[in-house]
Amino acid sequence: MAKRGKRRIEFRKNHQGRVRDGDLTRDYREGRKRKLDEIETAERLSGKGKLTRRRTVKEEPRKEQDGELRSGRVVSVHGHRCKVAVENGEVYECAIRQVLKSLSIDGRSAVVAGDLVRFRATSNVDGMIEHVEPRSGVLCRTSKNQQHIIASNVDQLMIVSSLASPSLKPVLIDRYLLTAFQCDLQPTIVLNKADLVDLAEVQQLVGVYCSMGIEVLITSADTGLGVDLLRERLEGKQTALSGQSGVGKSSLLNAVQPGLGLAVGRISDDNNKGRHTTTATQLIPVEPSGWVFDTPGIRQFKLWDVEASEVAGLMPDFVPYVSHCRYPDCLHLNEDACAVKDAVIDGRIDARRYDAYCHLLETDLLVED
Ligand code: GDP
Ligand code: ZN
């Protein structure tokens, strides 16, 4: 047993590329570790020295200094610097303390948009981030087997679709829903441009989502329909907005908060698969108390990190049936004695949702590339 206030950690240099998954790192990621700013990093090599390649770090609370730290919210990150907004709306340009960078598995995720941090102000406009509060609700993207957090402390995922122009694409909604369930985020569906269609035509679709416990808001940025309700849903939360370009995300935010002045109709490269959007995630304040992530990356979300066999488990309307299939590895496509297909046949699962499932598996997950 380690003595009180001391812990044994793996010995490593500050700039070592790969971080050992030692207790400190793991505890930190899981939010159980004592606050970093409480650690007095006075260290000494233990008697065994290099034999164990471990060191004893004496943790001493530095409570008297806590008062100097200010709390803020990271609104954007660029390289090793980030913008931190404080309660009164002032924004500090902050650097990130080295120990935080060392502790992150991937240097780029040491601090991400949406993080709640404590920092030491070094001037009226500059500061140094000393502590990152434990994260909840992270939106991740995996590429080259590395997980990148693109937004943290996401309270909900709003999936924005347009009913016309561009035309409604339910399969895209279903795809975004998988992201939400995979990341354990509460989804809300927003169907915009209601002024362009006869709403009777979408009732059935709306009914299916409602029966899955997902709220569907019908809006029009043009007429203001549903905008008050949308504003209410954004209040007090950090919301990630997803949806194809042109569906009206910027227009809706401008309608929620006149004066926000987001550029409408900016032709982005979202549909141009040859190019990558380089814009970083930003957190936009929406009055009275909401924050919305502008995350260019997830607009063109693709199921990078879901296995075909996991998809049905991420669809709440399929879940009651999947364990009743004859084969435990059933993909619910061509197998016999498939409880999911039986449920589709007698209408307990919506046929369109099942089609979307097959489509997602065939186009996104079972293709070799
Ligand atoms: P974003 O790419 O999702 O941010 O979409 P924008 O907000 O830039 O809107 C794309 C286009 O759709 C613009 O020309 C808007 O004027 C138009 N638009 C947005 N919302 C509505 C709506 O509710 N009704 C109609 N008729 N047009 C809309
Ligand atoms: Zn099955």
Q: Give the pLDDT confidence score for residue 254 in this predicted structure.
A: 93
- As given in the structure block, the two tokens for residue 98 are 């080295």
C-beta of residue 120 within 8 angstroms of C-beta of residue 97:
no
Rounded (10°) angle between helices 249-256 and 227-234: 90
Amino acid at 337: A
The pLDDT tens digits along the chain (369 residues) read 444 545 554 544 444 444 344 444 444 444 433 333 333 332 222 233 333 444 444 444 444 455 689 999 999 998 889 999 999 889 999 999 887 877 766 545 789 999 999 999 999 999 999 999 999 988 877 666 667 788 899 999 999 999 999 999 999 899 889 988 988 889 999 999 999 999 999 999 999 999 999 999 999 999 999 999 999 999 999 999 888 889 999 999 999 998 887 777 654 444 444 344 446 788 999 988 999 998 765 544 555 567 889 999 999 999 999 999 999 999 999 999 999 999 999 999 999 999 999 998 988 776 544
Q: Which atom of ligand 1 is nearest to the CA of 270?
A: 2
CA of 361 to the centre of ligand 2 (A): 13
Q: Give the pLDDT confidence score for residue 36 in this predicted structure.
A: 36
- As given in the structure block, the two tokens for residue 294 are 């502008």
Q: Give the pLDDT confidence score for residue 279 in this predicted structure.
A: 61
Q: Atom 6 of ligand 1 has which residue's CA nearest to it?
A: 248
Among 168, 249, 251, name the best residue to mutate to test ligand 1's pocket (greatest count of ligand atoms within 8 A of Cβ): 251
Pocket of ligand 1 contains residue 192 by CB under 6 Å: yes
C-beta of residue 155 within 8 angstroms of C-beta of residue 238:
yes
Q: Give the pLDDT confidence score for residue 106 in this predicted structure.
A: 53
Pocket of ligand 1 contains residue 104 by CB under 6 Å: no
CA of 346 to the centre of ligand 2 (A): 15
Measured distance CA(7)–CA(274) in Å, rounded: 50
Among 256, 264, 299, name the best residue to mutate to test ligand 1's pocket (greatest count of ligand atoms within 8 A of Cβ): 264
Q: Atom 24 of ligand 1 has which residue's CA nearest to it?
A: 193
Pocket of ligand 1 contains residue 161 by CB under 6 Å: no
Neighbours of ion ligand 2 (CB under 5 A): 325, 330, 332, 338, 340
Pocket of ligand 1 contains residue 333 by CB under 6 Å: no
Q: Nearest 5 degrees, angle CA 47-CA 50-CA 55? A: 65
C-beta of residue 137 within 8 angstroms of C-beta of residue 152:
yes
Q: Give the pLDDT confidence score for residue 168 in this predicted structure.
A: 96
Measured distance CA(300)–CA(327) in Å, rounded: 34
338 alpha carbon, closest ligand: 2
C-beta of residue 159 within 8 angstroms of C-beta of residue 173:
yes
Pocket of ligand 1 contains residue 265 by CB under 6 Å: yes
